[in-house]
Amino acid sequence: MMTRTLPALMFGAALMGLSAPAALAQSAGPMAMHAMAPVPALNLSASGEVKVAPDMATITFGVTTEAPTARAAMADNATRMTEVFAALRRAGIAERDIQTSGLNLSAQYDYVENQPPRLRGYQASNRVTVGIMDLDAVGTTADAVVAAGVNQIDGIAFGLKDPKAAEDQARLLAVRALQDKAQLYARALGVELGAIRSLNEGAGYQPQTPMPVFAMARMSEDSTSTPVSAGALTVRIDITGTYDLGG
């Protein structure tokens, strides 16, 4: 008798083992299908700006020379640039603030209708970018390099030696503007403003683009230096933020 009932008992236990997960799955089925509703969010952007006086200037200028041969054009250019560098040193400009920004040599042609181009000579051009740390010396430095042989000034730009303090002030203004805007929207919607979910910063301080200089007076014994007005710089910080909204 025991040999017959043992398989039956084992078979019954197996059925019970199979039915238990099925019953559990049936009872848990409705809960598994229930999706959690997303938390409402508010996406906003804001910016902060501060006006600050510049404390440095950058001037880009160059010497352009022409000669019948490439060697002569380059040699003449080198001689004049040597005089320009000497003038910069006399003006108190440090070597670290002088950088060659372009060196070019190109053939020059004369074009006549119905005739092949005729080589006229060669043009050499040397561009230098100079950082001036004393704004009071901008005009006199420009006059000095023109007197030394510079025949092209590409532009002047004003900037900040260290923009961190201005950037941090703009950041504070941007965060305050973002918070005020978020609270305003929450009140208008009649909901509570939750915690901030994310905060991202966009563009920060960007050096000013060089402005073209259309005229530059040559320095003489009885002339004053070229007038230069630095004005004010705008430092702007853009931010975006996401807030949770309550019920």
Q: What is the pTM of this model?
A: 0.67
User: For residue 61, what pLDDT is reported?
Assistant: 95
At 165 the pLDDT is 95
The length of the chain is 247
Class of domain 56-159 (CATH, top level): alpha beta
**Class of domain 36-54+162-222+230-247 as given by CATH:** alpha beta
**187 contacts 232 by C-beta, under 8 angstroms:** no
Segments of the chain scoring below 70 in pLDDT: 1-37, 203, 207-225, 247
pLDDT tens-digit map of 60-87: 999 999 999 999 999 999 999 999 999 9
Residue-wise DSSP of 46-65: EEEEEEE---EEEEEEEEEE
Q: Do the domains 56-159 and 36-54+162-222+230-247 match in fold?
A: no
Query: Beta strands of the chain (E only): which ranges?
Result: 41-52, 56-67, 98-110, 118-132, 152-159, 193-201, 233-245
Q: What are the domain boundaries of the chain?
A: 36-54+162-222+230-247, 56-159
pLDDT given for residue 6 in this prediction: 42
Using DSSP's 3-state secondary structure scheme, residue 136 falls into helix
pLDDT for 221 equals 42
Strand partners, 44: 241
pLDDT of residue 207: 67
- Tell me what pLDDT residue 35 has: 57
**In the prediction, which pLDDT does 13 show?**
38
